[in-house]
Amino acid sequence: MARPREFDHDAALDKAVELFRAKGFAGTSTDDLRTAMGLGRQSLYNTFGDKRTLYLQALSAYHRRTVDAHIGRLRSLPSPLDGIRAMLLGLIVDDRAERERGCMGVGAASEFGTNDAELAELQNKAGAALHRQLVERIDEASALGEIDPRLDADQTAFFIQTTMNGLQLAARAGAPADMLRAAAEFAVDRLQARLDRDRPQS
């Protein structure tokens, strides 16, 4: 008869996510992981593999959770533009310590770039899933006249995702919540700015 596990797998993985998110891959030791996850060395290796394998599992879990949350906010309102605004503002929390933990995905991109093919593929899949949803909402916003219809949907989605990365990197660097929210609002306003600029002056 198989011996039942004596720990909660998902809870242990969540602990790894938070540790990697705060300290990065290189800054996190196996002993750090064992302590945070409450596991012995052999249990850690038997269940999650080596540190890199665990990192990939943690990053995958983090992406599933955060991309689902982004898409949920993006589609939470009837107005596509308001949905985009809600998604950007949803990145910003009042708790300073939580903001400064940053985004694990942005941290992984900063630490590894494209040097690790498996990790890069994981990152690209998460980004592509969000990109598709953004393109749909941007097309809706264009059809409704909420944003400049001359904006290319793919380029605009890339701009929004780049803005998300910038907000999360700035949060990690200690930017205050009010400045981050102002930057998010500025980005949303830029989607409409060309309409105002191109109107003939009276």
DSSP string, 4-22: PPSS-HHHHHHHHHHHHHH
Distance CA 164, CA 158 (A): 10
Inter-residue contact 108 to 118 (CB < 8 Å): no
Residue boundaries of the structural domains of the chain: 59-194
Burial classification of residue 55, based on how many CB atoms lie within 10 Å of its CB (0-12 exposed, 13-18 middle, 19 or more buried): buried
Which of the two residues, 84 and 2, has the higher pLDDT score? 84
Helix, strand, coil % over all residues of the chain, rounded to 5: 75, 0, 25
pLDDT score, position 6: 58
Which of the two residues, 200 and 11, has the higher pLDDT score? 11
For 74-93, what is each residue's pLDDT tens digit?
A: 999 999 999 999 999 999 99
pLDDT score, position 192: 84
Instruction: State the average pLDDT over residues 16-28.
Output: 96
Please, what is the average pLDDT of the chain?
91
Residue 3 has pLDDT above 50, yes or no: no
The CATH H-level superfamily of 59-194 is Tetracycline Repressor, domain 2 (1.10.357.10)
Taking CA atoms, 88 is separated from 7, 27, 35, 114, 166, in Å, by: 36, 29, 34, 25, 11
For 136-156, what is each residue's pLDDT tens digit?
A: 999 999 999 999 989 999 999
Count CA within 13 A, CB hemisphere, residue 193.
7
